[in-house]
Structure 1
Amino acid sequence: MEFTVKQIAEILGGVIEGNAEEKVNRLDKIQEGSKGGISFLSNPKYEPYIYETGSSAVIVANDFKPTKKIQTTLIKVADPYTSFSKLLEAYAAMNASSKVGVEEPAYMAIGSKIGDKHYRGAFSYIGENCEIGENVKIYPHVYIGDNVKIGNNTTLFAGAKIYADTVIGSNCVIHSGAVIGSDGFGFAPQADGSYKAIPQLGNVILEDDVVIGANTVIDCATLNATIIRKGVKMDNLIQIGHNVEVGENTVIAAQAGISGSTKVGKNVIIGGQVGAAGHIEIPNKTIIAAKAGVSRSHKKEGLTLMGTLGFEIKDYMKSYVLFKKLPDLEQRLKELEKKS
């Protein structure tokens, strides 16, 4: 589809500098842009590209002031990254699968209900007493167990597995291979050194606007619910233990693991390969750097945690300075020992 810069600026609430009638029909990286494309500039290190890009238009910040002549048309907005994301969402929606109906073979048990404009792919399975909303897309080989509830406009990609009693909100996305509601890792040690499985009788609740990446696993609770609050975004290959609660608008990168009964606050950013111990609390707005290990609760909001034991970043950096000096200190110690 083709739009004028003026039309896009109206969508984004931006101010145009240049040709408002310039036409664009796709989204381009600024360093690879060509005529008909629209790009954005958010990171200052990419500024040199704006003076040579072939993109017909570039979204920039309101305070952007070029230092050289620019050929492209500018759309000035408060936040270029967010505005470009908005365009990506609109573009994705226009190109989203319009599939509606049921492919054969697909199974839905008697007593389950599904709303209008839904799609069920071949070999998908829906168990008993399920309630599924409107415009839900269920791709091939998706398994949905008994008593599951799914809100409107939710998409389950091929091979996702939803265990019994799971509750999924509206506008959620569950990517391929994700498993929602599998047993929590609960085993009681026995006198003979063996372990006895503890029945996991709870469920998983995903609130609205949650995204779950491919091959991510969220365990059901032992008794109540594992809860993923509204707006949470999870990358691929993440493990969420039983009874965990993840607060609103938290983002978690790939290969992170949150152990059982841990509570993660709102607007937390968790980097790749982070590990969090069980039965701890992570406050709102915490940032946890990649590969950090969080072994205890923190009370102060807005901390940045880094390092194997995940202590505050300023303390970590001070310690790391000393760590780098250890070889030199060792050599000096040896020299002093020789003199003595």
Structure 2
Amino acid sequence: MSDGVSFTLGRLADALGASLQGDPDRVVTGVAPLDAAGPEQVSFLTDPKYLRQAQASRAAALVVGRDVAGLSAALLRVDRPQQALIALLGLFHPEPSLEPGVHATAWVARTARVDPTASVGPLAVVEADAIVGPRCRLGALCFVGRGAVLGEDVRLHPHVVVLAGVRLGNRVIVHAGTVLGADGFGYAFDGRAHRKIPQVGGLRIEDDVEIGANSAIDRATLGETVVRRGAKIDNLVQIGHNCDVGEDVILVSQVGIAGSSRIGDRAMLAGQVGVADHVTIGPGAILTAKSGVPSDVPAGEIWSGIPSRPTAAQKRIWAGESQLPELIKRVRALEKRLDDLEGRRA
């Protein structure tokens, strides 16, 4: 769906900074994948390995790199097709505008400060001394706790919980069902029971962070849990108390990070990676899916496995594991022959 928006290819070329190979007056009404695009839609080729699909596509035009050849469709040639696609989607699917103001069913404490350009949706709650900055958008049933601070252009989707004292920077996006600032998982056993350690620290989310649905980031025991500028966090991610997640980090779905761990700038943790407490992941490191990380990972390295180790070493282990059934058979055969020889000597 394109929200009823249409453009000529000429206008798209101007908007994308593209060189157009085709009819500038042809009208297109949307964007679609190569295999689904129709004759009134634009598609895109961001990876040469999909050239065959692009050649078979029915799209009216294709967004491609400057040097792509072998295509008969109209072409919008750009330097960076992936970035052009982002702009293209923004043109056809502009962010819907919301009227500023507080919905009649929302509740805002008398001492809370909600900027007049902000939008507070149905049944949302903003507690005492909270600050909601310019152009913030709070969806239905959001909760902003006492003393929490939302910067400019923050977007909270429905059912987001921002607990007391949590601070969000500018342009932060939080998807439905996420909880920010719950108590960290801290207990001390006194010989009879696990006693709760009060979690009295804070949580700071810096500018341009996006957090997926149903994730949880805990407040610190003391001090702060921090998610730094530009980090992108998928759905169903758990970040424990006192963690420090660096700039532009990528955390894919079901990552779990135990307390007081540090994730360096631009590190990437794939799906279901588990990081033990007090571990440091170096800047630019990559942890492949399902890695279990009990110890520090150096900057820039790629690690895999449980327990995790450099991927090259882990691949040798995986290769060896595939030979284990045959190796066991051979060992058993050798043991039987040895037993037979020893029996004859006896």
Q: Sort the TM-score into its range (normalised by shorter chain).
A: over 0.9
Q: How many pairs does the alignment contain?
A: 334
Question: 1: CA distance between counterparts of 2:7 and 2:335?
Answer: 77
Question: 2: CA distance between counterparts of 1:214 and 1:18?
Answer: 41
Report whether the alignment pairs 1:2 with 2:24: no
In the other structure, the counterpart of 1:18 is 22
User: Which of the numbers 326, 329, 334 marks the counterpart of 1:328?
Assistant: 326
Report whether the alignment pairs 1:281 with 2:280: yes
Q: 2:259 is paired with a residue of what secondary structure?
A: coil
Residues 33-61 of structure 1, C-alpha deviations (whole Å, 9 max, x = no match): 11221111123342212122121111112
Q: Which amino acid aligns with 1:199?
A: P
In the other structure, the counterpart of 1:112 is 112
Q: Which amino acid aligns with 1:47?
A: L
User: Which of the numbers 295, 299, 319 marks the counterpart of 2:317?
Assistant: 319
- Cα 1:89–1:209 shift into 2, 3 Å: farther
User: Which of the numbers 280, 302, 305 marks the counterpart of 1:304?
Assistant: 302
Question: 2: CA distance between counterparts of 1:49 and 1:218?
Answer: 41
In the other structure, the counterpart of 2:223 is 224
Q: Does structure 1 conserve the Cα–Cα contact (< 8 Å) formed by 2:160 and 2:175?
A: yes
In the other structure, the counterpart of 2:38 is 34
Question: 1: CA distance between counterparts of 2:179 and 2:95?
Answer: 27
Where in structure 2 are the equivalents of 1:227-306 lying within 5 Å?
227-299=226-298, 301-306=299-304
Q: 1:16 is paired with a residue of what secondary structure?
A: strand
Question: 1: CA distance between counterparts of 2:119 and 2:54?
Answer: 43
Task: Quote the offset at 1:303 in angstroms.
Answer: 1.1
Q: Which amino acid aligns with 1:245?
A: D
Where in structure 2 are the equivalents of 1:193-204 lying within 5 Å?
194-204=193-203
Q: Which amino acid aligns with 2:305?
A: G
Question: 1: CA distance between counterparts of 2:87 and 2:307?
Answer: 37
Q: 1:30 is paired with a residue of what secondary structure?
A: coil
Task: Quote the offset at 1:8 in angstroms.
Answer: 2.0
- Cα 1:142–1:294 shift into 2, 3 Å: same
Question: 1: CA distance between counterparts of 2:224 and 2:91?
Answer: 34
Question: 1: CA distance between counterparts of 2:238 and 2:43?
Answer: 35
Residues 234-267 of structure 1, C-alpha deviations (whole Å, 9 max, x = no match): 1111100000011111111111100000000111
In the other structure, the counterpart of 1:78 is 79
Q: 2:35 is paired with a residue of what secondary structure?
A: helix
Q: Which amino acid aligns with 2:288?
A: A
In the other structure, the counterpart of 1:184 is 184
Question: 1: CA distance between counterparts of 2:92 and 2:251?
Answer: 25
Residues 159-199 of structure 1, C-alpha deviations (whole Å, 9 max, x = no match): 1111000100111111111000000000011122x111001
Question: 2: CA distance between counterparts of 1:324 and 1:78?
Answer: 44
Q: Does structure 1 conserve the Cα–Cα contact (< 8 Å) formed by 2:118 and 2:132?
A: no
Q: 1:48 is paired with a residue of what secondary structure?
A: helix
Task: Quote the offset at 1:100 in angstroms.
Answer: 2.7
Question: 2: CA distance between counterparts of 1:168 and 1:126?
Answer: 14
Identity level (%): 30
Question: 2: CA distance between counterparts of 1:247 and 1:90?
Answer: 31
Question: Where does the alignment leave 5 or more consecutive residues of structure 1 unmatched?
Answer: none
Where in structure 2 are the equivalents of 1:85-124 lying within 5 Å?
85-92=86-93, 94-124=94-124
In the other structure, the counterpart of 1:163 is 163
- Cα 1:287–1:89 shift into 2, 3 Å: farther
Task: Quote the offset at 1:103 in angstroms.
Answer: 1.7
Q: Which amino acid aligns with 1:23?
A: V
Q: Which amino acid aligns with 1:13?
A: G
Q: Radius of gyration: which is bigger? A: 2
With normalisation by structure 2, the TM-score equals 0.93
Question: Where does the alignment leave 5 or more consecutive residues of structure 2 unmatched?
Answer: 339-346
In the other structure, the counterpart of 1:63 is 67
Question: 2: CA distance between counterparts of 1:298 and 1:135?
Answer: 40
Q: Does structure 1 conserve the Cα–Cα contact (< 8 Å) formed by 2:179 and 2:217?
A: yes
